[in-house]
């Protein structure tokens, strides 16, 4: 039987009613102080339960992992309680949800961190660009290079966050290794110039990601853990001299885990000349479930599933403006127009006020 977006699928231990995945979408609407999920977040996620799987907005694993205002974290009891309400609302509508575990690394600013601390990174290399802070845009600063002895503490932060996500009732977790944040910074040779066991060779630069996945898998079981990568994305001033070799190695290193899935962003997010990676080769190298991400519509989503390239397809921006995207795709209904002025921060406008079809969500 030909598979498509609307065919059920099992990713690891998680059975999905369809293959439409809501990608992680930072929206900056947590309650502050405390960075706690609040009722408007509950409403927002419950509205989008037509997805086979929701992956939460990227969620900081510790106070030092934050890099933007009003992010809901996963490092306090209050945050666990807030997320539990979100999970329960999604489950009540028949949805499944994974939490994305996140550390921004150098993509932060002292004003967003405890005691105005410097952001941490694999190496003390300042990123180009500016940080979004509570007082407006500010230039990024030169981060502090993590000492080798500090890295086990970072891994423990991931493990503890995974444990808290389990307490909140999630169906699984996704390790964020993409888009120029901490784990991606360790992978790439333009941000990682270390000389210890976490730098230099491709195998050494991959080490932290693999150790984090191992720690999180001990909490959840690897069949309820996903990993997100973005091999050609240069967002957040991230590049590598040989991304083809790097990410082929990463995929081979992840294979033994038998993860729930590998989630790959197959496009860039900047106007820079793209780095080159053979995604067909990458897919063939990965032996497990594969979620493709990158500007898909219904036709292209169905095509990559039918071809076997992907087991599921992640949609980002369309889910912002179309809470019932799963139903709209099934019915070939028109999509709402995105309210780009209200993407980040604020209240209900541009967040929970998009109209839905006058029908039961599939």
3-state SS of the chain is CCCCCCCCEEECCEEECCCEEECCCCCCCCECCCCECCHHHHHHHHHCCCCCEEECCCEECCHHHCCCCCCCCCCCHHHHHHHHHHHHHHHHCCCCEEEEEECCCCCCCHHHCHHHCCCEECCCCCCCCEEEECCEEEECCCCEECCHHHHHHHHHHHHHHHHHHHHCCCCEEEEECCCCCHHHHHHCCCCCCCCCCCCCCHHHHHHHHHHHHHHHHHHHCHHHEEEEECCCCCCCCCCCCCHHHHHHHHHHHHHHHCCCEEEEECCCCCCCCCCCCCHHHHHHHCCCCEEEECCCCHHHHHHHHHCCCCCEEEECHHHHHCCCHHHHHHHCCCCCCCCHHHCCCCCCCCCCCCCCCCCCCC
Listed in sequence order, the residues at least 6 apart from 123 whose beta carbon sits closer than 8 Å to its beta carbon are 145, 191, 192, 193, 194, 199
Greatest C-alpha distance within the chain:
59
**Catalytic residue at 354?**
no
Catalytic pick from 181, 315, 351, 354?
181
Question: What b/e readout covers 43-66, taking b as 16+ CB neighbours within 10 angstroms?
Answer: ebbbbbbbbbbbbbbbbbbbbbbb
Spatial distance between the Cα atoms of 290 and 259, rounded to a whole number of angstroms: 10
To which residue do tokens 């969500």 refer?
A: 361
Catalytic positions are 181
């Amino acid at each position: 039987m030909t598979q498509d977006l609307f065919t059920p699928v099992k990713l690891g231990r998680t059975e999905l009613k369809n293959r439409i995945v809501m990608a992680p979408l930072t929206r900056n609407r947590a309650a502050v102080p405390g960075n706690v999920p609040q009722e408007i977040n509950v409403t927002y996620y419950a509205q989008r339960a037509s997805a086979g799987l929701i992956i939460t907005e990227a969620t900081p694993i510790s106070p030092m992992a934050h890099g933007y205002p009003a992010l809901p974290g996963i490092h306090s009891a209050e945050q666990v309680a807030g997320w539990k309400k979100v999970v329960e609302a999604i489950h009540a509508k028949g949805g499944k949800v994974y939490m994305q575990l996140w550390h921004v690394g150098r993509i932060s600013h002292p004003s967003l961190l405890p005691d105005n601390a410097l952001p941490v990174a694999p190496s003390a290399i300042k990123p180009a660009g500016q940080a979004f802070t509570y007082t407006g845009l500010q230039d990024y600063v030169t981060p502090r290079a993590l000492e080798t002895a500090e890295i086990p503490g970072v891994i423990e932060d991931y493990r503890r966050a995974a444990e808290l996500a389990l307490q909140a009732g999630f169906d699984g977790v996704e390790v964020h290794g993409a888009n120029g944040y901490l784990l991606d910074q360790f992978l790439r040779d333009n941000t990682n110039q270390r000389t210890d066991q976490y730098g230099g060779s491709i195998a050494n630069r991959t080490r932290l990601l693999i150790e984090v996945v191992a720690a999180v898998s001990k909490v959840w079981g690897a069949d309820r853990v996903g990993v997100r990568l973005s091999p050609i994305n240069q967002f957040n001033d991230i590049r590598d001299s040989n991304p083809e070799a790097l990410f082929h190695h990463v995929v081979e290193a992840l294979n033994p885990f038998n993860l729930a899935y590998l989630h790959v962003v197959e496009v860039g997010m900047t106007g820079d000349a793209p780095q080159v990676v053979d995604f067909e080769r990458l897919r063939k190298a990965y032996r497990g479930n594969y979620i493709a991400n990158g500007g898909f519509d219904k036709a292209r989503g169905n095509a990559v599933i039918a071809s076997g390239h992907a087991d599921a397809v992640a949609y980002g921006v369309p889910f912002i403006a179309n809470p019932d995207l799963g139903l709209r795709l099934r019915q070939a209904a028109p999509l709402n127009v995105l309210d780009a002025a209200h993407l980040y921060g604020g209240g209900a406008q541009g967040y929970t006020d998009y109209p839905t079809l006058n029908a039961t969500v599939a």
